[in-house]
């Protein structure tokens, strides 16, 4: 469930008026995995114009838990704070966050997370540093980036988030695996 919370923080939405939460993503397969993980039968809708897929979950309990337990509000982009996640689950939460708002840069040795909440991004950076990753926060005009850099740290990061995985965004996992495989052999 830590993965789902991380992914929801990145690509989820709490409806302001309806008793609904939703996940949107270009990759339909991850939404099917999330639906299965939640034992849900809700449909996945596809916007024909944008080809973006959305899983709507109509549940007052899930909406209230998202808001009350995790502080995720309908307008979360700039206001969300980092939720409490026990250390044994933090790599799964960060994998979900990475799958939603993270990127591995193929030409350089760094990973980047993007977010609008300064408090959230500063805490993410602190947690990554606590786990001995070389990370820093950079502010742009309208959002924040957290970088993990360095060949060894990028490799360790991949090993850390993908150890004992049960759910993941396949295209990011494959890109990360390929990148680490090639770079670790000096190709």
For 64-123, write each residue's pLDDT tens digit.
777 666 567 666 667 788 999 999 999 999 999 999 999 998 778 899 999 999 999 999
Alpha-carbon span 160 to 180, nearest angstrom: 13
Residue 82 is predicted with a pLDDT of: 94
Of 70, 10, 8, the closest CA to residue 34 belongs to 8
Q: Is residue 185's pLDDT more than 50?
A: no
Q: Is residue 186's pLDDT more than 90?
A: no
Tell me the domains of the chain and their CATH numbers.
2-68 (3.10.28.10), 87-184 (3.10.28.10)
Residue 68 is predicted with a pLDDT of: 66
Do 93 and 3 form a contact (C-beta atoms < 8 A)?
Answer: yes
Do 4 and 39 form a contact (C-beta atoms < 8 A)?
Answer: no
Residue 103 is predicted with a pLDDT of: 94
Residue 19 is predicted with a pLDDT of: 77
Rg (CA), the chain: 16
Do 100 and 133 form a contact (C-beta atoms < 8 A)?
Answer: no
pTM of the predicted protein model: 0.88
With a CB cutoff of 8 Å and minimum separation 6, the contacts of 56 are: 20, 21, 22, 42, 43, 45
The two most distant CA atoms of the chain are separated, in Å, by 53
User: What is the sign of the dihedral through the CA atoms of 26, 28, 29 and 35?
Assistant: positive
**Tens-place pLDDT, residues 130-178:** 999 999 999 999 999 999 998 889 989 999 999 899 999 998 898 777 6
Using a pLDDT cut of 70, give the percent of the chain over it: 89
Of 17, 20, 37, 19, the closest CA to residue 29 belongs to 37
Alpha-carbon span 170 to 91, nearest angstrom: 17
Q: Is residue 181's pLDDT more than 60?
A: no
């Amino acid at each position: 469930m830590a993965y789902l919370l991380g992914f929801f923080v990145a690509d989820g939405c709490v409806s302001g008026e309806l008793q609904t939460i939703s996940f949107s993503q270009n990759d339909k397969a991850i939404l099917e995995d999330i639906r299965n993980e939640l034992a849900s039968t809700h449909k996945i809708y596809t916007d024909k114009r944008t080809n973006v897929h959305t899983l709507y979950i109509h549940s007052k309990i899930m909406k209230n838990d998202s808001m009350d337990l995790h502080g995720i509000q309908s307008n979360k982009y700039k206001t969300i704070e980092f939720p409490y996640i026990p250390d044994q689950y933090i790599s799964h939460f960060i994998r979900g966050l990475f799958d939603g708002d993270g990127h591995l840069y193929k030409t350089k040795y760094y990973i980047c997370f993007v977010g609008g909440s300064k408090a959230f991004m500063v805490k993410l950076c602190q947690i990554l540093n606590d786990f001995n990753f070389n990370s820093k926060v950079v502010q742009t005009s309208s959002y924040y980036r957290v970088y993990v850099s360095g060949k060894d740290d990028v490799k360790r990061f991949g090993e850390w988030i993908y150890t004992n995985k049960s759910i993941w965004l396949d295209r990011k996992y494959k890109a990360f695996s390929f990148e680490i495989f090639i770079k670790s052999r000096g190709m």
